[in-house]
Structure 1
Amino acid sequence: MSSKNELTVPQQDLVEAWQRTLPERLTEGDTAEVHANGADPGSFHVHIKTAGRQMMEFDFAVRYVDSREIDIQLTDVEKDGQTIDERPEPIQQLIGDYRRHLHETAQALHHYTHS
């Protein structure tokens, strides 16, 4: 018997829903890719590329704690293909914006993940 809040959506369906929904939450020109995590059916990887000349890329590991709540871990920040220090304030602001967009996407998908 499963808990009422347990995530029951198949991983591939979840990834496809995120792939459709996340770009609607991002700044115009930013792009995102969502990939399944083969080791954990309740998690996936999100790769976001910033628009414009910044040439920055952000990688996040997103895991559903239950059918409504996600945990987000930053795994990498790159500029021009090189890993960079994520501590400077402008980069922290971008990370905060992207974390907010990820949470907004999870909220937009509540109808889908919380049955």
Structure 2
Amino acid sequence: MMASKDELTVPKEDLADAWQRMLPERLHGGDKAEVRADGIDDRTLRVHIKTAGHQMLEFDFAVKYVDSREIDIQLTDVEKDGQSVDERTDIMQDLILDYRRHLHETAQALHHYTHS
């Protein structure tokens, strides 16, 4: 079996910078995002999103590039006012689904950058 030629070749810091510029354009007004390269895996980004308003919710995601186009998103933490919360409620699941969609939209918007 041949190895895939469709591997991500963008340096991780450059990729994190591109995501940092692109993701806020896709979030709801007032939501804030911080994107950084993972310290261990060159294909993974760490995304921290703070919701706007009085909810004081914060979401952490690991976004891993499977190849130059496809991403795998894992929720790693949800906090409210600094305390972990149960992400299994319907309201939380809706928010998580919404943010996952924004992460996929960001990856799609960066296809020209990640797919050579």
Q: Which amino acid aligns with 2:78?
A: V
* Structure 1 equivalent of residue 26 of structure 2: 25
Residues 1:92 and 2:93 are matched in the alignment = yes
Partner of 1:107: 108
1:63 aligns to what SS in structure 2? strand
Which one-letter code corresponds to 1:35 in the other structure?
R
After superposition, the C-alpha distances for 1:36-67 in whole angstroms (9 at most, x for unaligned) are 11110011100000000100000000100000
Letter in 2 for 1:13: D
Alpha-carbon distance, 1:3 to partner: 3.8
SS in 2 for 1:112: helix
Question: In the alignment, which residue of structure 1 is the partner of 2:46?
Answer: 45
Q: Which amino acid aligns with 2:113?
A: Y
CA distance in 2, matches of 1:4, 1:22: 27
2:5 counterpart residue number: 4
C-alpha separation in 2, matches of 1:107 and 1:45: 17
- Percent identical among aligned pairs is 75
Query: 1:18, 1:3 → 2: CA distance?
Result: 24
Q: TM-score, normalised by structure 1?
A: 0.97
> What CA distance in whole angstroms lies between the structure 2 residues aligned with 1:96 and 1:35?
21
Give the TM-score normalised by structure 2.
0.96
Residue type at the aligned position of 2:77: D
Which consecutive unaligned segments of at least 5 residues does structure 2 have? none
Unpaired stretches in structure 1, ≥5 consecutive residues: none
Query: In 1, distance between residues paired with 2:26 and 2:34?
Result: 13
Q: How far 1:71 sits from its partner (Å)?
A: 0.3
1:83 maps to 2:95: no
Q: How many residues of Structure 1 are paired with residues of Structure 2 in the alignment? A: 114
Q: Which runs of 4+ in 1 moved over 3 A?
A: none
CA RMSD of aligned residues (A): 0.9
17-26 or 34-43, which moves further after superposition? 34-43
CA distance in 1 between partners of 2:113 and 2:37 (Å):
17
1:84-111 C-alpha deviation (Å, 9 max, x unpaired): 0000001100000000000000000000
